[in-house]
Amino acid sequence: MTGMVSGIVLAGRRLAERLMDDTCIVRHQTGLATDPVTGVVSPAYSTVYTGPCKVQTFTNRELLKSGGEHEFIIQRYEVHLPIAAVGVRTNDEATVTASLNDPDLVGRVYRIVGLSNKSQATARRLAVEEMPS
């Protein structure tokens, strides 16, 4: 039975990856770097993953009301990576570098806020928040 389940999971992973027609880079912040010319301090990064991905919304917009008369709309996103993408952590950044079907995705940066690890996953589904540009 275990071999059959493994075969089904592998087939599901291949199918999930075929739907990943965007490309992204995922980076860890490793510290700070100072530009020797300008003296500007900015984050330093190391690359964790570069390759196919898929950006998904997993719920419709949510209308949240806080105290007073303010209304806030929240759109929830996920970035899907192949299972082979390992070492991704919360607070990493995923930047979309190419998109076959939505040119507006290119250049968008998402902060990873949640991991979804499970035994028989067909994709690495990451809860993300879009970073302001």
Q: What CATH code is carried by the domain that includes residue 45?
A: 2.40.10.270
pLDDT of residue 63: 57
pLDDT of residue 96: 98
d(CA 132, CA 97): 16
Give the helix ranges, DSSP H, for the chain.
Answer: 2-18
The pTM score is 0.84
| DSSP β-bridge partners for residue 55 | 79
Q: Residue 40 belongs to what domain range?
A: 2-130
| DSSP β-bridge partners for residue 64 | 72
What is the number of structural domains in the chain?
1
Higher pLDDT among residues 60 and 40, named by residue: 40
Query: What integer is the mean pLDDT of 97-102?
Result: 97
Q: What is the pLDDT of residues 54-86, one digit of tens each?
A: 999 866 666 565 666 777 667 789 999 999 999
Q: Are 126 and 88 in contact (CB under 8 A)?
A: yes
